[in-house]
Amino acid sequence: MTLQSDVILDRMMSLHPKLMDLSLGRTWDLLEKLGNPQNHLPPVIHIAGTNGKGSTQAMIRAGLQGAGLRVHAYTSPHLAWFHERIVLAGEVISESALTDLLAEVEAVNDATPVTYFEITTCAALLAFSRVEADYTLLEVGLGGRMDTTNVVQVPRLTIITPVSLDHQTFLGDTVAEIAAEKAGILKRGVPCIVGPQPDEALDAIRSVATRTGARLLEYGQDWHVWEEHGRLVYQDKNGLLDLPMPALIGAHQVQNAGAAICALRILGVEDAEPAMRDVQWPARLQRLTRGPLVETGAELWLDGGHNPAAGLALAEALGRLSDRPTFMICGMLDTKDVVGYLRPLAPLAQELLAVSIPDAPATLPAQETARAAREAGMDARVADSVEQAVRQISEHHPEARILICGSLYLAGTVLRENG
């Protein structure tokens, strides 16, 4: 079934020849035509970083909602449906509301060249400006300094999650250059929570903070977080918290949880337990428990990580699961460091089945993913589809754990097709 919102989104995709063209001029022009909704939002928490943005946002959202607050949230890319990107006061935007919103923004734009992300982000900001809420969570799309979300002049709070190499074509060739782009969301007088960083990234963030007059709250100095006896322990100048581990799996989620707790305390939310207990974030080592793929009898997991840092985090998280033979089904985009992503996972996987991502123009052909997997030290072969790969593995290894991974786009395809 084709949704009316999808028809409009397809037209929006054709307004600019490039999928990404980092610039704010077109965004400012469209926002002006829309009445500058970015100036009429509930207090904004703006989140940038390479890894952990979505998980951190999800924990903050769970914590705020656990305190009885109404929260807008914006994230990208979506997994199954575009609607996921726009959460209005705790609820995913409805099809009718999204269709009306997109039609209005499309009419105001009047076929002016603008990228897909720019026009849809402007639509989200317009929606947020019209619905009452206590906070707005804005996740950066790419980078920070020139990202379309970076139009809020005085956010309540900014956050930079761990920075690593990714999107070098757009952000720079070094971690320091990329960190400086991420730090472009810093604003004078606005506190910025900084997650664990490589030294060169932290130096770059500090340099930007000095120039802008932003106040940094750094992991390891202003706040600390660690796992102890199966519990999460958080400490800052206001004291120590003993909390359950976050519902999201992996040691890296402890650090993301720390940034979320720091944010909640700044915002006046003292009870951080809902942030750990109630958080949900699909395709971050998500156990699939229903749908046609699960009916094969396999233990299925789904993860959308796609860069070397994500591969390391995923390998650590897999090591926490019970000992079962692990097989991987992997599809990636041609812009990613496939070998770097797969190398830390190689010791854990008995075999990798490579697939092309359906309907993704930038998909790496399955044969190339398999070749990269062999270079990373894996046994690898090609499968025609995720469903075929799951069935082949399940038939020959019914006791296996199957991890579908490599791309949020692949994860979205799996979630849609699996119902």
What is the DSSP secondary-structure string of 275-302?
HHHS---TTSSEEE-SSTTGGG--EEEE
Residues 6 or more apart whose CB falls under 8 angstroms from that of 71 comprise: 61, 64, 65, 87, 89, 90, 133, 134, 135, 136, 137
Look at residue 251 in the predicted model and tell me its pLDDT.
Answer: 84
The ranges of the chain with pLDDT < 50 are none
Cα–Cα distance, 306 to 255 (Å, whole number): 19
Look at residue 94 in the predicted model and tell me its pLDDT.
Answer: 97
Look at residue 219 in the predicted model and tell me its pLDDT.
Answer: 97
Residues 6 or more apart whose CB falls under 8 angstroms from that of 392 comprise: 353, 383
Q: Which one-letter DSSP state was computed for residue 384?
A: S
297 phi-psi bin (left φ>0, alpha ψ -120 to 50, beta other) = left
Cα–Cα distance, 187 to 181 (Å, whole number): 13
Look at residue 171 in the predicted model and tell me its pLDDT.
Answer: 67
Q: For the range 287-293, what are the long-range contacts, defined as Cβ-Cβ under 8 Å and sequence gap of 24 or more?
A: 288/414, 288/418, 290/418, 290/419, 291/418, 291/419, 292/387, 292/417, 292/418, 292/419, 293/386, 293/387, 293/390, 293/414, 293/417, 293/418
Q: Which one-letter DSSP state was computed for residue 79?
A: S
For 404, the token pair is 């579908």
Of the candidates 311, 382, 383, the residue with the CA atom closest to the CA atom of residue 347:
311
Beta bridge partners of 236: 223, 239
The order of strands in the sheet holding 223-228 is 223-228, 231-236, 239-244
Tell me how crowded residue 144 is: count the other CB atoms within 10 A of its CB.
Answer: 27
For 45, the token pair is 């928490």
Cα–Cα distance, 72 to 218 (Å, whole number): 26
Look at residue 172 in the predicted model and tell me its pLDDT.
Answer: 66
For 164, the token pair is 């690593």
Look at residue 169 in the predicted model and tell me its pLDDT.
Answer: 60
Tallying the residues shown for the chain, one arrives at 419
Give yes or no for a contact between 63 and 145, defined as CB atoms under 8 angstroms apart. no
Full set of structural domains in the chain with CATH: 4-277 (3.40.1190.10), 286-417 (3.90.190.20)
Q: Judging by DSSP bridges, how do beta strands 157-160 and 135-139 pair with one another?
A: unpaired
Look at residue 55 in the predicted model and tell me its pLDDT.
Answer: 93
Give yes or no for a contact between 94 and 85, defined as CB atoms under 8 angstroms apart. no
Cα–Cα distance, 131 to 152 (Å, whole number): 17
